[in-house]
Chain A
């Protein structure tokens, strides 16, 4: 029995090594299933909670065009959450259970969404920086080993590229605008830079699951690799915008052909992860409230569907 199990596991790993996708009904190790459910649902929760900081500005968007774009973008995030919950459901999780874990504070989501959006420039910064960081994380996941997850990510990435561009466009407009607008853009960058770097997660040395996840190809780069990539990508863009990245230690390193940069405030990172971010409480509360206040709506729709079904059956019985 034990040798058979081992063979199955070895076969499984061989398929992954050969870049053959794993599909829902295929055999998979329990740990793979559990890790995936955790990772996909965290990602889904991030999309869902991520609607709130930007949703905060939909009613205050400064032009009709911006209002349309922002609303479409936040709506996309709802869509992304939905695609991802669907992917998790193929592994036997239920959306209701995943949401219950989120609402109980048992599930994590990206720490970035626990920061407040204070000015219009935050909409630019979130699109440009935060979505930029998200894309770096997400593009490799389009080739992740689990089929439904990879397919959901392809859809997400396709839609996400407009998000980053609209953010950059807001930043560019502000940077080329009045002194007040430029100051608004810089102030937002100052607030969001470090939390964005935290999005890539703890340092590799403190990320014990990375090795297994890389082996399973549900993670394709390490946290530090992605963080470095991100900084290298963002510095020239900030320069183009005429904005200063708030890191005095930032400088080009010719030898590694990349930027050296300062260390993230890891104490702050762990505080936010533990639920003590500036808006952690409000974000979770907003989600719980929406879910609870929606309960009677969901219930009514089910009750009505049931009534209809019974009526149709009764009509059939009469006809027969």
Chain B
């Protein structure tokens, strides 16, 4: 983790204790990411293209929800203020949410959902492979459990990319359109923000450059089989990880948090 960009050094913590303090926002980022994507996928439940795939998407959503809960529970523990997983999920506003922009994008058609899922799964799987070997034992434990799930997710979404890319003219057109609008959110996944840079410097978060290479290789392999060109030179949007979201997140949270906000402080 030697080659941290110089502009980050001013933000980088000077002691392990500071790095530990930055772990909380990072764990929240992981939690928010899994939750928001699970939420999006769960919107498909009952509306999938065929029963078998309805079940598949719900399984992925359930895996991600479970992963999100583990992170939130850990975040609550790190924070040490007596807040619960639900307080963290249900009582933070959009600007406090730390998920990357990609996962909050609306479902669109099945091709858009597959494109979003594929871009995320490819990153998620390779991230977890690294995190499970990281020095933070709790994070490593969560990653070790989740990586098995993510391995299945990436298999599922990769195969769908191939089917849709090398399926019919219509499926290819739809997938290309989806990639055209979603590719610009893929860069944020492996572009470290200040928190991540500091944690990378402290060795708590894996090197994203290496992950990017693995993701690129996977994407190239899948796209080749799907007979799709890998988009080049696309301007990459970012900001979600720092709370600067697209307008979609507000509506999502309004729905997600409706009951907790309407009837504060109750058990359900």
Say whether A294 contacts B59, CB under 8 Å: no
Chain A: interface secondary structure?
Answer: helix
Interface residues of B in 136-192 (CB under 8 A from A): 162-164, 166-168, 170-171, 174
Say whether A303 contacts B168, CB under 8 Å: yes
CA–CA, A68 to B89, complex, Å? 14
Q: Which residues of A have CB within 8 Å of B65? A: 64, 67-68, 71
Interface residues of A in 156-175 (CB under 8 A from B): 170, 173-174
Say whether A120 contacts B259, CB under 8 Å: yes
Q: Is A154 an interface residue (CB 8 A)?
A: no
What number of B residues sit within 8 Å (CB to CB) of A?
48
What is the CB-to-nearest-CB distance from A251 to chain B, in angstroms, rounded to a whole number? 34
CA–CA, A296 to B164, complex, Å? 9
CA–CA, A270 to B256, complex, Å? 37
Say whether B85 contacts A173, CB under 8 Å: no
Say whether A301 contacts B69, CB under 8 Å: no
Interface residues of A in 181-236 (CB under 8 A from B): 181
Residue A72 contacts which of B62, B162, B164 (CB distance < 8 angstroms)? B62
Say whether B49 contacts A293, CB under 8 Å: yes
Say whether A82 contacts B51, CB under 8 Å: yes
Q: Which residues of B have CB within 8 Å of A279? A: none
Say whether B167 contacts A300, CB under 8 Å: yes
Say whether A294 contacts B268, CB under 8 Å: no
Q: Which residues of B have CB within 8 Å of A58? A: 42-43, 45
Closest A residue to B54 by beta carbon equals A78
Say whether A290 contacts B45, CB under 8 Å: no
Say whether B55 contacts A78, CB under 8 Å: yes
Say whether B86 contacts A64, CB under 8 Å: yes
Interface residues of B in 67-94 (CB under 8 A from A): 68-69, 72, 85-86, 89-90
Q: Is A304 an interface residue (CB 8 A)?
A: yes
Tell me which of A13-21, A47-55, A241-249 binds B.
Answer: A47-55
Say whether A290 contacts B46, CB under 8 Å: yes
Say whether B260 contacts A304, CB under 8 Å: no
A297-B49, A299-B168 given as contacts; is B268 within 8 A of A63 (CB)?
yes
Q: Which residues of A have CB within 8 Å of B259? A: 60-62, 120
Q: Is A29 an interface residue (CB 8 A)?
A: no
Q: Is A153 an interface residue (CB 8 A)?
A: no
What is the CB-to-nearest-CB distance from A122 to chain B, in angstroms, rounded to a whole number? 12
CA–CA, A251 to B58, complex, Å? 43
Say whether A301 contacts B167, CB under 8 Å: yes
CA–CA, A246 to B227, complex, Å? 62
Say whether B167 contacts A181, CB under 8 Å: no
CA–CA, A286 to B168, complex, Å? 25
Say whether A120 contacts B109, CB under 8 Å: no
B111-149 vs A, Cβ < 8 Å mask (1 yes, 0 no) = 000000000000000000000000000000000000000
Q: Is A59 an interface residue (CB 8 A)?
A: yes
Q: Which residues of A have CB within 8 Å of B98? A: none
Interface residues of A in 257-300 (CB under 8 A from B): 286, 289-290, 293-300
Interface residues of B in 16-41 (CB under 8 A from A): 35, 39
Q: A58-B42, A72-B58, A299-B168 are in contact. List 18 more A-B contacts (CB 8 A).
A: A48-B51, A51-B45, A55-B45, A59-B43, A62-B90, A63-B86, A63-B260, A71-B45, A74-B46, A177-B268, A178-B266, A181-B263, A181-B266, A290-B47, A293-B109, A296-B174, A300-B163, A300-B170
Q: What residues make up the interface of B, taking CB atoms closer than 8 Å to A?
A: 35, 39, 42-43, 45-55, 58-59, 61-62, 65-66, 68-69, 72, 85-86, 89-90, 109-110, 162-164, 166-168, 170-171, 174, 255-256, 258-260, 263, 266-268
* A-B pairs, 4 with minimum CB distance: A294-B49, A300-B167, A300-B171, A75-B58
